[in-house]
Chain A
Amino acid sequence: MDWKLRPARDLGLAPGDRLRSLARERGLFGVAANAAWRWLLRLYFRVFHRLEVTGRENLPAAPFVLIANHGSHLDALVLAASLRGEAGRAAHALAAGEVFFGSGAGAAFAAYAINAMPIWRGKTQRGDIRMLRERLVEDRLVYILFPEGTRSRSGEMGEFQPGLAALVAGTGVAVVPCWIEGAHAAWPPQRRWPRPGKLRLRIGAPLSMEGDRAAFTAACRAAVAALAAAR
């Protein structure tokens, strides 16, 4: 019997704290809100961006970490909208806390619709990484993560931060590299709103962590860059 009484990880948190907690677990309302949001996103990307996804067959069963180049707010939405079934429901975008969880309404939208988890720049503690790793493995989640740490202002892919390797080290969880094309042109950091334009998402073969963290970080960046070259 694998069923046991196990309270929600966020039980006892006040409503506002719960939205901003890495321990937040969704109920029926959260699942329905996120499903509706992803449906709207798919419609939006089909109509305004003619989104083309290749390599879906590379996606393993959850848990896994989806990484990509980051040049636009559209990136996380493209990845979330492209996941289907259980992987889509398990997907959590790791998002900048200052940007998405600053206000109460913003936090509610980020938590319920986007299903984001806040990462506070410069304030991430060892306990946060531990909680993220624990949930990734035990709750069989899918994380959407941009290892560059911030949106590229030029559209060129930057260096990868070491957090990705710290997150998956020792877990055996696969990292799936992706390349998003056209998002920076459609909605660069300098623009207030997106404009229509063709989007392409290429999903590569999953990577398992081998060697030291620096080597793995470099391997992940190379895998994303290789997808860019495979146009």
Chain B
Amino acid sequence: MSVAFAHPVTVWIVSATVAVVAGAAAAIGWLSATGRVRPDLRRELWLRLGSWCVLLPLMLGPVLAGREWTIAAVTVLALACYREYARATGLFRDRVLSAAVVVAILAMNFAALDNWYGFFVALWPLSVCLLAVASIPLDRPQGYIQRVGLAVFGTMLFGAGLAHLGYMANDPGYRPLVLLLLTAVALNDVAAFTCGKLIGGPKLLPATSPNKTISGSLGAVVVTASVVALIGAALFAGTPMGQWHWLVVFGVLVSVAGQLGDLMLSSIKRDIGIKDMGAVLPGHGGILDRFNSLLLVAPAVFHLVHYLVGIGEGQPVRLITGGG
């Protein structure tokens, strides 16, 4: 327990998260008791809060529990995200390719667990090679480009993209950074929604996501970047990332990559013609509808921090395969 909460930023984030949930429950309770919201909206609010009460321990718990738990949770998340994506696009019917994607996702997360960066990086082109040849023996060239394209896209997003989040756990001080990313993308969504409602104005990309406004998007950048940069100042003090301009880049990157991940999923859904990717999380839709922002944030932040500070520098490598 003392290790999990060793960094003050970890304590701040967990405390703030618990306080926000308690505050939201109190607010919804007050709105319900005073009859200020319609019954359907009240039900929707309680459903969303209930989902968060289940999700948050599942998100924060493994990160606090340790490296292996974090990577295991990211692996489960990646497989769940791929499942929804495959069912939405129809790729799940192509079982050979789907199995190849699952193998690639497992291999990338294994590389993270092994702390073998060379293999982790090599798996991106190697996965593409595997996916390109996996369905050839079926002798069914019709639709080859579409299905391999979908498989590569899915592998890169849910395998390579999310595995960066797990790989961060190879750094002894990963907890506050991973917790910051998990909570910052949620803050980003809330800030965009709130600023958009309060300020209004022209739509951002109406054909892609009809409810998003330019004011909401810019407001989210200001709010999220400020919060992330402030917490980042405590997190990266004494490192090259601690300089104010890099902290601003860090904050803006989290907000912009988070919003782009959201818009990317909206593009996928509009193209297919569906509203939600699933119905697993009451009030949210599918798992991807909740975690879309992380898909681009994880690799973007990983490589910024890796470039400027390093991740897991000096830690034992190839923990499982040996030879490090």
Interface residues of A (CB under 8 A from B): 1-8, 11-15, 25, 27-28, 31
Contact = CB atoms under 8 A, between A and B. Distances in A.
Nearest to B87: A8
A14 B89 CA distance: 18
B274 interface: yes
B290 to A, nearest CB: 15
Nearest to B280: A15
Contacts of A31: 95
B271 A28 contact: no
A4 B90 contact: yes
B239 interface: no
B155 interface: no
Query: B-side binding surface: helix, strand, loop or mixed?
Result: helix
How many chain B residues sit at the interface, stated as a range, is 20 to 34
Contacts, number: 54
Q: Is the interface of A mostly helix, strand, loop or mixed?
A: loop
B142 A27 contact: no
A28 B280 CA distance: 18
17 contacts: A1-B142, A3-B146, A3-B147, A4-B146, A5-B272, A7-B89, A7-B272, A8-B87, A8-B90, A11-B278, A12-B276, A12-B278, A13-B279, A15-B279, A27-B92, A28-B92, A28-B95
A5 to B, nearest CB: 5
Contacts of A14: 279
B87 A27 contact: yes
A28 B99 contact: yes
Contacts of A1: 142-143, 146
B175 interface: no
A8 B276 CA distance: 13
Contacts of A28: 92, 95, 98-99, 102
